[in-house]
Structure 1
């Protein structure tokens, strides 16, 4: 069994880091809600699992799915993030306590799916094989988990510092990230 060249390993690490940055960006916004440490742990693990499952599905279905379906999924993710961000902004303005889509249950599923769609598209085009594919997918999960935890903890700390305005900022971040995906 041949070892993976160092340049290829670093390429995979950088790809994993780049894919995890979506989860980091969105996690900052989500973390500005009042979230307990146990929930942060669960959110990070869920996002990591999705960053493993989605590229795996992309690898398997790569020959069966056209780029049109990928574009529709990315459009849906952008619209969903804009909607969640807008809802958080409205919730702050109207001073309502319960979010429309909290990072638990179905809301956690939607959050993890949204931030892992880019890893699905990478899985579609991942030209690696054997050990490198397994390594890449595992690193996608590891980096996204660590970056999500980091962002949620930063967002949680910011929430304590900014109070009510942190949810306004978090909603703005989510809305802006949704616009970034769309455009």
Structure 2
């Protein structure tokens, strides 16, 4: 996986966190850089740790599933992407919009919820023999930066971009899944 592909994947993975960060920004009456950093750290750290966990699980079972690993990657990324698109097009209020707390419990739950897809990507990294430490570091840094940006955008522009970010993230993940599948067929 080259740097451009990793960047595109990192952006796709970070779109859930970006959307929630926009929601957090919406709830702030005045932009607080300290709070934006806290939000960015939660999302960035979880987005880096989850693919590492997935990678460890994937390498443990790699010898049992290498014949169909590209199909697993395709279906996992496609499923996650479709769910992100479905959420983006949904008219329901997001639970994160109702909770403007930055407590450890609240932020941990949000960070886990937005990084479940990164766990699945970590499994695919094991099958693709990706150099995991630079990859997860890059994903964490991109998510951190985009989360801070999301807080600022949410604070300035409101909820206008939230669903568009989720939609873009879903499309990116589906595209990466298709690329992986087609490169192995």
TM-score by length of 1: 0.62
Residue 139 of structure 1 corresponds to 138
Q: Is the 8 A contact 2:17 2:43 kept in 1?
A: yes
Report which of the two structures shows the higher radius of gyration computed on alpha carbons.
Answer: 1
Residue 12 of structure 2 corresponds to 18
2:41 matches 1:42: no
1:28-74 CA-to-partner distances (Å, cap 9, x unmatched) read: 1221001632111111011110011100111112356xx8xx8xxx7
2:81 matches 1:85: no
Residue 96 of structure 1 corresponds to none
Distance 1:128 1:135 in 2: 14
Query: Secondary structure of 1:145's partner?
Result: helix
Structure 2 unmatched ranges of 5 or more: 62-71, 171-185
Query: Secondary structure of 2:2's partner?
Result: helix
| Runs of 4+ more than 4 Å apart | none
Distance 1:36 1:110 in 2: 21
Q: Which has the higher helix share?
A: 2
TM-score by length of 2: 0.62
Query: Secondary structure of 2:101's partner?
Result: coil
**1:9 equivalent among 3, 11, 27:** 3
Structure 1 unmatched ranges of 5 or more: 1-6, 89-98, 159-165
Q: Is the 8 A contact 2:50 2:116 kept in 1?
A: yes
2:123 matches 1:124: yes
Distance 1:86 1:107 in 2: 11
Query: Secondary structure of 1:134's partner?
Result: helix
- How far has the Cα of 1:128 moved from its partner? 4.3
1:151-181 CA-to-partner distances (Å, cap 9, x unmatched) read: 10111223xxxxxxx5xx48x947x959x98
Q: Is the 8 A contact 1:85 1:173 kept in 2?
A: no
